[in-house]
A and B are shown apart, each in its own frame.
Chain A
Amino acid sequence: MSHDGHHSVVIPAPGPEFVPHTVAHHFDTPVQEFQSAKLGFWLFLATEILLFGGLFAAYFYYHEMYPETFRLGGQQLDWKLGAINTTVLLLSSWTMAMGVRSAQTSQKQKTMVFCGLTVLGAIGFMVIKFFEYKAKNEHGLVVFSELFGQYDTATGSLPWFKDYVGVMAGVPHGHLFFAIYLTMTAIHGLHVVIGAGLILWIMKGTAKGRFHSGYFLPVDLVGLYWHLVDLIWIFLFPLLYLVP
């Protein structure tokens, strides 16, 4: 008998390679625990959508204000790399969905494999992102070493926007496109890294047999997070790379 005077509900393990799950004591049933956690997580995803949405609002606002800058700026981005990254993320979304399904059907090995593939997709995405940023650096469109440098109010020149080739000459405030591009893709990239970390944590739990048909909640929730990361990129890709 536990100290609070009544028993906890335990979900049994479906096999010897799994462990049972004890429902948190303030819930009466496993269903209540599952639905509460899922609703809570969807609410959290709603806040993420609104957070990113603010960035999209800023994008649309300045796209309307400086259409030429955004057109020209977008042309400096390599749409092929962007398309590859989109494909990588879509594939990783698929592997993640398959991973959740494997946990739901108590297939431990498959869960590990699919989660692992998803992490590989995340790494691939970040590698391609690195090369993209490197190219921007080389063209002087975003000089990372000078990113936090002093803004010279006298000349009006930004330390990190050097534009060696002069591609953005002739449009007003050329740096604005790249600043927004950098902010949006960097925050998105941060979420990719966080997502990969969460998936690794899921893999650890899977190895220990914590997730199975009776209790797959964390896998489900991390899967939702990963799909959100994919969702954001689905909108980012055409806006930044293709519309111009």
Chain B
Amino acid sequence: MSAHDHSHGDHGELQMGHHHISSSAMFLNVLLTLLVLTGVTVGASRIDFGAANMLIAMAIASVKASLVIAFFMHVKWDTAINKIVFLSSFLFLSLLFLFTLADHATRRMDGEINVTRTPVQFQWTQPAPQPHGN
């Protein structure tokens, strides 16, 4: 490759490729939406929805997170592979959540299958103690 002289209009190759540059207005809109949603979160927490409390809080947080990811972190205009990468991390994380919580939630549900049984009486003669034993 010869040394690149930038006098001719080769800028597409020399620059980073076509870059989407977000507008300031867009960023401001996203910020305001996020602040509003924060207010909603706080407001919603004042009302007791019972078991759905956690779910509602996480749902609103997920919406906020999606805004940050898509717009502030630019993922909306990013390559497919970067999108796949971050989505996979949430996917595999949810596997961890799912199985551990499912285990815990179903632990007492199996009746007599998986309970402690009375230990069987069992004789084992201890070998004569050697000088270098325990």
User: When the two chains form their complex, are residues B41 and A238 in contact, meaning their CB atoms are under 8 A apart?
Assistant: yes
Closest approach, in angstroms, between the C-beta of B44 and any C-beta of chain A?
8
Residue A87 interfacial (CB < 8 Å):
yes
What are 19 A-B residue pairs whose CB atoms fall within 8 Å in the complex?
A10-B4, A29-B13, A30-B17, A43-B85, A46-B89, A57-B100, A83-B42, A94-B30, A97-B71, A213-B15, A216-B16, A227-B72, A230-B72, A234-B64, A235-B61, A238-B57, A238-B58, A238-B61, A242-B41
Of the candidates B13, B19, B42, B73, the one having the most CB atoms from chain A within 10 angstroms of its own CB is B73
Q: What chain A residues lie within 8 Å of B1 (beta carbons)? A: 6-7, 9, 28
Closest 10 CB pairs of A and B: A46-B89, A242-B45, A238-B57, A53-B93, A94-B31, A49-B89, A12-B6, A31-B17, A7-B3, A97-B72
Q: 1/0 contact trace for A47-88 toward B, CB 8 Å?
A: 101100110110011011100000000000001000100110
Main secondary structure of the interface of B (DSSP, over half): helix
- Partner of A214 from B2, B16, B54, B69 at Cβ < 8 Å: B16
User: When the two chains form their complex, are residues B31 and A38 in contact, meaning their CB atoms are under 8 A apart?
Assistant: no
Residue A98 interfacial (CB < 8 Å):
yes
User: When the two chains form their complex, are residues A45 and B31 in contact, meaning their CB atoms are under 8 A apart?
Assistant: no
Q: How far is the CA of A43 from the CA of B90 in the complex (A)?
A: 12
Main secondary structure of the interface of A (DSSP, over half): helix
Q: What chain A residues lie within 8 Å of B34 (beta carbons)? A: 90, 93
Interface residues on B, range: 35 or more
Interface residues on A, range: 35 or more
A71's closest neighbor in chain B, by CB? B53
Interface residues of A in 117-147 (CB under 8 A from B): none
Q: How far is the CA of A238 from the CA of B14 in the complex (A)?
A: 45
Known contacts A49-B93, A238-B41, A214 near B14 by CB under 8 Å: yes
Closest approach, in angstroms, between the C-beta of B66 and any C-beta of chain A?
10
Residue A113 interfacial (CB < 8 Å):
no
Known contacts A9-B4, A227-B72, A234-B61, A50 near B92 by CB under 8 Å: yes
User: When the two chains form their complex, are residues A98 and B27 in contact, meaning their CB atoms are under 8 A apart?
Assistant: yes
Closest approach, in angstroms, between the C-beta of A118 and any C-beta of chain B?
12
Q: What chain B residues lie within 8 Å of A94 (beta carbons)? A: 27-28, 30-31, 72
Residue B126 interfacial (CB < 8 Å):
no
- Partner of B24 from A29, A79, A98, A217 at Cβ < 8 Å: A98
With contacts A94-B27, A238-B41 known, what are 20 further pairs, Cβ within 8 A?
A: A31-B17, A34-B17, A43-B85, A47-B89, A49-B90, A53-B97, A57-B100, A60-B97, A90-B38, A215-B16, A217-B16, A223-B72, A227-B68, A230-B72, A231-B65, A231-B68, A231-B69, A238-B57, A238-B58, A242-B57
Closest approach, in angstroms, between the C-beta of A158 and any C-beta of chain B?
24
User: When the two chains form their complex, are residues A35 and B79 in contact, meaning their CB atoms are under 8 A apart?
Assistant: yes
Of the candidates B35, B60, B72, the one having the most CB atoms from chain A within 10 angstroms of its own CB is B72
User: When the two chains form their complex, are residues A101 and B68 in contact, meaning their CB atoms are under 8 A apart?
Assistant: no
User: When the two chains form their complex, are residues B101 and A238 in contact, meaning their CB atoms are under 8 A apart?
Assistant: no
- Partner of A12 from B14, B68, B89, B104 at Cβ < 8 Å: B14
Residue A180 interfacial (CB < 8 Å):
no
Residue A11 interfacial (CB < 8 Å):
yes
Q: How far is the CA of A105 from the CA of B27 in the complex (A)?
A: 15
- Partner of B38 from A10, A54, A83 at Cβ < 8 Å: A83
Residue B125 interfacial (CB < 8 Å):
no
Q: How far is the CA of A54 from the CA of B89 in the complex (A)?
A: 12
Q: How far is the CA of A242 from the CA of B55 in the complex (A)?
A: 12
Residue A202 interfacial (CB < 8 Å):
no
Q: How far is the CA of A87 from the CA of B42 in the complex (A)?
A: 12
